[in-house]
Amino acid sequence: MVDKERIERAVAEILQAIGEDPNREGLRDTPARVARMYEEITSGYLDDASKHLAKTFAEQGGELVLEKDISFSSTCEHHLMPFFGKVHIAYIPNGKVVGLSKLARVVEVYARRLQLQERMNAEIADAIDKELSPKGVFVVIEAEHTCMTARGIKKVGSKTVTMAKRGEFSEELKNQVLALIF
Ligand code: ZN
């Protein structure tokens, strides 16, 4: 569980360290707001992807399921800055499928943690691979990292694309999925 009082003290400390007055009107409630925000953006630690993927439906002859443009916002563990974008999930069912909203739930489970885009990508692919046992799964994430666009090299609008594949997913099918996504 998140220790909100401790976060509040730490945020007040940061405000003082950068030369601000934590007691001025605009900042008075900032430590408490930031503490509530951290509780929300790290709530995925208390959630479990397998819970959302437990209820499945029998599938008849579907060759591919693609849920694209699942928007997300996560937090970069190197800078504690947001990175956000879209997750695209494609899988080849092996007898069972899951409700489409559940895939978005799985994205939330991993996005609401301190993350690296590559690891989040692998975790989503692994969860689907483990819980649905599909013939293959292919997950693509495109994201803008504010630690790159708001500071550092400041390339606003630049995106990082990562991909993770589990099981059998041919190059041909991957290319078809990519053509449907981009
Ligand atoms: Zn970063």
Does pTM surpass 0.75?
yes
CA 65/CA 134 separation, integer angstroms = 10
**For residues 41-53, average pLDDT:** 96
**What local confidence, expressed as pLDDT, does residue 3 receive?**
97
| pLDDT at residue 85 greater than cutoff 90 | yes
For CA atoms 108, 114, 117, 121, the dihedral sign is negative
Q: Determine the distance separating the centroid of ligand 1 and the alpha carbon of 147, expressed in angstroms.
A: 5
**What local confidence, expressed as pLDDT, does residue 59 receive?**
82
Q: Helix, strand, or coil here: 24? A: coil
Exposure string of 30-43, with b = 16+ CB inside 10 Å and e = fewer, is bbeebbeebeebee
Residue spans of beta strands (DSSP E) within the chain: 56-58, 65-76, 81-92, 96-98, 114-115, 136-145, 160-167
The model's confidence at residue 150, banded by pLDDT at 50, 70 and 90, is: confident
Q: Determine the distance separating the centroid of ligand 1 and the alpha carbon of 116, expressed in angstroms.
A: 8
Catalytic residue set: 76-79, 117, 145, 147
Q: Determine the distance separating the centroid of ligand 1 and the alpha carbon of 87, expressed in angstroms.
A: 18
